Every structure is written in structure tokens, then in C-alpha cells.
A and B are shown apart, each in its own frame.
Chain A
């Protein structure tokens, strides 16, 4: 084990221990928010892989999460399987859809791929998740209700055991995030990044474009689906609303805003996406200097849109990327005084 890997494992463990304790003192609403934050963080992490590493744009990540959620709901509510089995089925369903979406991506890139994925998100939002023809999959307009769920033989349903669901989610997120960070420098990661920089030169150097692009789409969809497949456990039911088109667009916007090339930015974005709207709806009303005011959920999406525009003009590498660059700059400036050796990566 290299020292770098050990440092990363240690960082993930510390992050897990600290984050697992944070929601303990709060009420159910905030516990739900923290679990939701991890689910959204999975969606953003899937974009770090797809956009940050491989350079493919996708506007249908919430669709993958939704397919994972519905497949899991179908397995638990329809076939009464163990929740772990259901999650496996959900992830597999998302992976399959990801590979299918990846097929047109073999020939498309950039904005044409954005158009196709937008269309896919819209078809699932308006048609598959809502139409009578797919009721066997979506459980009708009411969706699947997940009242009882067992995992490892333990009761895990949302009403009483929200914290245990949160801890399982968080542990999974830390593992996947660690794998993602390690992927960045591995052989496969280098091939993926070669595709991002230039497909032509990557193919010239012997990277199998078809295989790696399909794999990237599949893995990315599986990560989003892994988060989504915990949604029924956390929320107690599945409905189309959390996975509609605008969630996909918010995923893309927030991933870019926070820094689409960095794994920790996904966690930051997940917290932002889950906690800020809830705080707004809870505390966003009252009176200020004699005037009643109300800040509704809509202000969150307005803020996301405006911040995204400002960020793309001013800080192209995202919030996390910019912070990181500043910290590195300060450190290297301080290190220069002490004569620190410069490591050439």
C-alpha cells in the first residue's frame, strides 16, 4: 500500500466517522435531508466520472437514478426480496440503461449528445415514469410503497431506522468515492482521460473507444442508480417527481458549479442540493422590518442557475477546483521559502 493510498483510505475513514455523527442530534427532517444529500451526491459523483474523467456530457443522470429507484421499489414491494438484492437489481437496471444510452454516444459528442440525453430524460420523465403502459414497472400513479425492508437481516424501513439507512448509504458513498479517486490515476482512468482529451489520439494509442465509452456510461449510470436505489428506503415510496427532467438539469448544473473534475465536489454538491431547499422552505419565511417575506423553494433553482452562469464566466474549474488551486498556490508559495522539493507528477 503506497502512502498516498493509505492517506486516502484514512481520509475516507475520518470523513465517514465525522459525517455519520452529524445528523444525530437533529430532527427527522434533517436526518432525511442528510440521507437525501448522499443520494444526490451519488448522482453528482456519476457526472464526475462521465464528464470530469471521460468528457462526455449527459443531461439524464436523474433518469438513471430513477430507474434504479423504480427497479428497487419493484423488487421490494412487488417481489418482497431482501433490500440488498433489490439494490443489486436496481444498479444492474441502471447499468443496462447506461450502456444503451452510451450507444448513440459512440458517434456523438458535445452538444449533440446533450440533445439526445435531454430527450431521453424527457421521455422517461413524461412517458415511462407516468404512463399506464409502464405501470408494471412504476407501480402506477401511487408508486411503490416500501414499508418493510430488511438488509443483512436487520429492519431498515424509513420510519424508524432512517439513521441506519443513512449510515449504510454514507459507507457506500465513501467506498465508491475512494474507488473513483483511485480510478483517476489507474491504467483504466488514464485511458478514460485520454478519451476526454482527444478521442482520436486515444484511439491511435490503442484505447478501445467503444469498450471504454460504453463502460463509462454504464458505470456512471450504475453510480447514479446506486444512489437512486436507496431512495425508496429513505423516502418510503417512489414517485416520478424527484427524478424528473429538472433534477437531471440540476445535477448537470450543480456538478459543473462545484467542480466537475473533483470527487469531493460531488459530496459538497449533494449537501447543497439537499439541505439548502429544505432550509429555505423551513426558515425562509417570517417578517423583516415589518414586512412579511417568503423565500420559497423556487429561489434555490434561481440561485443554482445564476451561480452556474457566474461560475462559468469567472471560475471555469468550479468552486472546489478554484479553492483547491488557491490552497495549492498558497502551499507552494509557503513551501518555496522552506526549499520544499517540487514533485513532477
Chain B
């Protein structure tokens, strides 16, 4: 029973990260119609920037909290700039093209980012985590110890989902974003600044990806590929939310995290969770009417 509870907590932590990664995908997909296969690669690159600041450039006499703060800030600022750059340099020019063409372009972004990262940071495996909460801090819940970092992740995933949801629903800029997601043409006729909306969604999406990447560092031995390949889990979670709904996406992320963690009690295989993700994707796509992906067919 204790083991089961421990696995549940690991699964929820992992699920929180999937949710965060998926939130960025859904956000970008809704407002710009781009299904971003490079989402994992973008998060990976920002994570490595944060990692570089934390372990490469920090002064050993700095207190840990300062180094952590600077690293996270550097990663997030880099992510925001990268998101804006991609929108200005690439996706602004293909706004009217088919969704498939835009998705193939993100594959180009993925390949370029992944190789650039492996050029800079080599193909080494790193296990040098950045902890947002003190590593040793734990809470006891019904006799089960819960690491503070897990709680940070879960709270951040839930907070961002509802925060983004409220932002889209109640602010005027959020209304513009929803208008653009319904129809860019009519939104622009009503005076919605379509370019600005899409720039902001790329920035936000990239920020959320960076956050997910930084938060996952305590969980895995990460290298440039494994963080890039987080995309498949994120896509599975996003598909559970129908590529539209933020709360369902977060729920899907947690569900997927649990589904991928429980089999590791019996099956010691690094690749098996990928099979779980694939089965979830196929199940979701078969059970949902394809027309349910209203934006997908647009």
C-alpha cells in the first residue's frame, strides 16, 4: 500500500509536467492553428539555458535560492524571446496555410533546435536537477511522505490551467485570443490585432514549455533528445482535452502520468511508458468523433 501511494505521487508529479507541456500546445494550437511538434524541443532548449546558468555560470558563493532564481529567470526570458522570434521569423508568414503545412514547419523547428542543443551541450546525459522547492522538504499526508517539489508541480499545473482559463475568459486580451481562435479573418475585421495575439500566444506557450522542462529535471536523467521527446506525452494529454479544453487537458495530463507510472511497478522498461502514451492517443482518437476536433479540420 505504501508503495502504491508512492507511485501515485510520482505519477501525479509526472502528470503535472505533462499537463504543463500540454497546456502550451493547446494554447498555441487554439490561437494560431499551429500544432507545435517542436514544443518539447523549445522547452528543452530553455531548460538547458537555465541549467547552464545554474551549473555553468553561477558563482559558487551565491546562495542556492539566488542561483535558482537567476537560472529560472534566464530560462523563462530566453523562452519568451524564442517564442516571439519563432512567431516573427517563421509562423507570421504561413498564417493562411493549411494546418498540416504548419505542423511540418514545426518539425523543421524541432530538428534545428534539437541539433543546435546537441551541438552546444553534446549528447551527454545530465542528472543535475534544478529544485524549485528545497529538495529535502517533505510533507506527511496520512503517513505518506510527499516531496515539496511534487506539490510545487501539481499546484503550478492547476494554477496555470485555471489562470490561463480565467485570462482567456475574463480579460479583454483573452477575448481577443478566443476571437482569433474562432476565425482570424473575422477577428481582424473587428479590429482585433491578430499579429499581436499570435505573438503573445507563442510567447506564453514557450514560457509554459520552459517551465515544464525546468520542473522535470529532478525526475529524469535528461539529455537533448529525452526532453524533446516529451512531446508525445504532451500531445496525448492535449488530445484528451480535444486540443481545446484547458481543464480537460490538465486532467488528461494527470491521468496519463498515473497510467505511465503504475506499470513501472511490474515492468522495468524505459520504453514501456511510450507504448502507454501511444495507446492513450489511439484510444482517444478512436473514441472521439474526428469532427470533435473542430479546429483540427479547419
Q: Which residues of A does B touch, CB under 8 Å?
A: 57, 59, 104, 107-108, 110-112, 114-116, 118-120, 122-123, 126-128, 130-133, 245-246, 249-250, 252-253, 256, 296, 298-302, 304-309, 312-313, 316
Query: Distance (Å) between the CB of A150 and the closest chain B CB?
Result: 35
Given known contacts A110-B100, A111-B99, is B281 in contact with A116 (CB within 8 Å)? yes
**Hey, which chain A residues are within 8 Å of B94, CB to CB?**
312-313
State in angstroms the CA–CA spacing of A94 and B100 once bound together. Answer: 25
Indicate with 1 or 0, residue by residue over B273-290, a CB within 8 angstroms of chain A CB atoms: 011011001100110001
**Hey, which chain B residues are within 8 Å of A116, CB to CB?**
278, 281-282, 285
**Hey, which chain A residues are within 8 Å of B93, CB to CB?**
313
* Across the A-B interface, the 9 shortest Cβ-Cβ residue pairs: A305-B112, A127-B271, A308-B108, A305-B111, A301-B115, A119-B278, A126-B271, A298-B115, A298-B119
> Do A131 and B271 have beta carbons less than 8 Å apart?
yes
> Do A110 and B116 have beta carbons less than 8 Å apart?
no
State in angstroms the CA–CA spacing of A33 and B177 once bound together. Answer: 50
> Do B115 and A112 have beta carbons less than 8 Å apart?
no
Query: Distance (Å) between the CB of A37 and the closest chain B CB?
Result: 19
> Do B286 and A252 have beta carbons less than 8 Å apart?
no
**Hey, which chain B residues are within 8 Å of A296, CB to CB?**
119
Closest residue on chain B to residue A257 by CB atoms: B108
Q: Which residues of B does A touch, CB under 8 Å?
A: 35, 37, 90, 93-94, 97-101, 103-105, 107-116, 118-119, 225, 229, 231-232, 235-236, 239, 269-272, 274-275, 277-278, 281-282, 285-286, 290, 293, 296-297
How many A-B pairs with Cβ below 8 Å? Answer: 147
**Hey, which chain B residues are within 8 Å of A250, CB to CB?**
111
> Do B111 and A122 have beta carbons less than 8 Å apart?
no
**Hey, which chain A residues are within 8 Å of B37, CB to CB?**
114, 118
Choose among A120, A306, A312 the residue that contacts B104 (Cβ–Cβ < 8 A).
Answer: A312
**Hey, which chain B residues are within 8 Å of A249, CB to CB?**
107, 110-111
> Do A115 and B281 have beta carbons less than 8 Å apart?
yes
> Do B100 and A253 have beta carbons less than 8 Å apart?
no
**Hey, which chain A residues are within 8 Å of B277, CB to CB?**
119, 122
> Do A123 and B274 have beta carbons less than 8 Å apart?
yes
Given known contacts A112-B285, A305-B115, is B107 in contact with A252 (CB within 8 Å)? yes
> Do B108 and A309 have beta carbons less than 8 Å apart?
yes
**Hey, which chain B residues are within 8 Å of A305, CB to CB?**
107-113, 115
